[in-house]
Chain A
Amino acid sequence: MAKEMSQEKTTNQILIEQLMQNVGKISGVIEKQGQSIFGQKNLLSNNEINDYSLEFLELLTMLLHAGDKVDRRGPEYKALRQFFGNFSQQIQVRGGNMDEFVRYIHFLQGVFLDNLEADKSVNFVKAREILLLLGMIFNDIILDVFHIYLEGKEKTIQAQQEELRQTSTPITEIWDGVLTLPIIGSLDSSRTMIVMEKLLSRIESDRARVVVIDVTGVMAIDSQVSHHLIQMIRAVGLMGADAILTGIRPEIARALTSLNIDLSSVTTRSKLSEGLKEAFRRMSIEVSRPGR
């Protein structure tokens, strides 16, 4: 008779029953595992772990109560996914490892599977349905966590790239009216835009008359990079300042020649120091040792 009754119950009802009957045991096991994973590294306090465990069980119960079948578009499902999203973000912010978080989610799934195994009244068909349901819920959660983790990483990479761009173009006023711009790395379109924007603004604000662009740190050059360089020099000229290109290494010069890049209209010097001398000469500045 009891067997017949259990057959009529929906998957959700069976899970709710299991949850209600073993709530103390389940929450205890989850909290213990949470403390083992997150407590050891001080990622979460015991109170936080307990709160998270209880909230998870509450949200899961709400989801199962919402209907005979789990609605993946329903607010209860969204709330559960949101909960894990926030949970994983907090772990990430505190320096936690996503591998451990995913293992924790697997463990939660495992707790329900253990309960299912212990319940002998559930037949094979229902057990299979429950297994599929749990698989769907926890897989969605893992995917969400994975996406949040990836988004976080992408944001970090973008922020680092931006910081690198900002710091890799140190424009310095080395003398009144003389700016130096050492370029390190490669020049792509987006970087050229940033460098040019900064350089032209500095020419205007510092009333610079000469700009020494040093490319000693440019490891390789192609037609696009050389085009960007010429563009930059032309923009400097349009502002009314003179541009001097320094630090063209032999291999870069060879590459420019093979690319048929014409730098005849550009003032070039071998080293930054030579470029500075030329800048001083153009500004009629004489630098000499005292006593000479």
Chain B
Amino acid sequence: MIEGMHLTPIGDGNVLLEPGEGLDPSQPEALLAPVLEFLQRNEARRLVYDLKNVRLIDSVYYAWLVKLSAACRIANVEMVTVNMQPAAAYALSLTLDKSPPFTCVLDIHQLR
């Protein structure tokens, strides 16, 4: 059990990450190791980060996502975000000057 998130293996090498209210994106270092440990223990090939309940992705939250995707890449795990909310996508697009380093997919059913 990692504080602030719920990790569930959903089959076919996919692990679903559902962030909760207690997630503190300003402390990524404390979260990366336990997440990677879970992914390796479950032989994950892909981390599916569910953004359904994330209303706003600010620079701190975006930095957390970037760090997590970089850590996943090192562990040979692809990170994919799903269910990004329109308002969050709009706000984030205003701050980005390049595409994010992770894949974005509309929902979990569209994972290829």
Contact = CB atoms under 8 A, between A and B. Distances in A.
B90 A237 contact: no
A238 B110 contact: no
Q: Dominant SS at the B interface?
A: mixed
Interface stretch (A93-101, A143-151, A158-166, A202-210): A202-210
A235 B88 CA distance: 9
Given A237-B99, A238-B84, A196 B90 contact: yes
A170 to B, nearest CB: 18
A200 B84 CA distance: 10
B20 interface: no
Interface in A186-202: 196-197, 200-201
Contacts of A234: 93, 96, 99
Given A207-B107, A240-B105, A240-B110, A200 B96 contact: no
B106 A240 contact: yes
Interface residues of B, number: 20
Given A240-B84, A240-B105, A265-B99, A235 B89 contact: yes
Interface in A128-165: none
Given A239-B104, A240-B107, A203 B99 contact: no
B86 A239 contact: yes
B47 interface: no
Contacts of A196: 90, 93
How big is the A interface, by class? Answer: 20 to 34
A193 B46 CA distance: 34
Contacts of A197: 86, 90
A241 interface: yes
B94 A237 contact: no
Contact of A209 (B92, B96, B106): B106
A157 to B, nearest CB: 27
A207 B106 contact: yes
Contacts of B87: 200
B31 to A, nearest CB: 22
A231 interface: yes
B82 interface: yes
Contact of B106 (A232, A235, A239, A265): A239
B100 interface: yes
Given A196-B90, A200-B86, A200-B90, A237 B104 contact: yes
Nearest to A239: B89
When A and B form their complex, which 3 residue pairs have the shortest distance between CB atoms, in order from nearest? A200-B86, A240-B106, A235-B93
Interface of A: 196-197, 200-201, 203-204, 207-209, 231-232, 234-241, 265
Given A200-B89, A231-B93, A240-B81, 14 more contacts: A201-B86, A203-B106, A204-B85, A204-B86, A207-B110, A208-B106, A232-B93, A234-B93, A235-B90, A237-B104, A238-B84, A238-B92, A240-B104, A265-B99
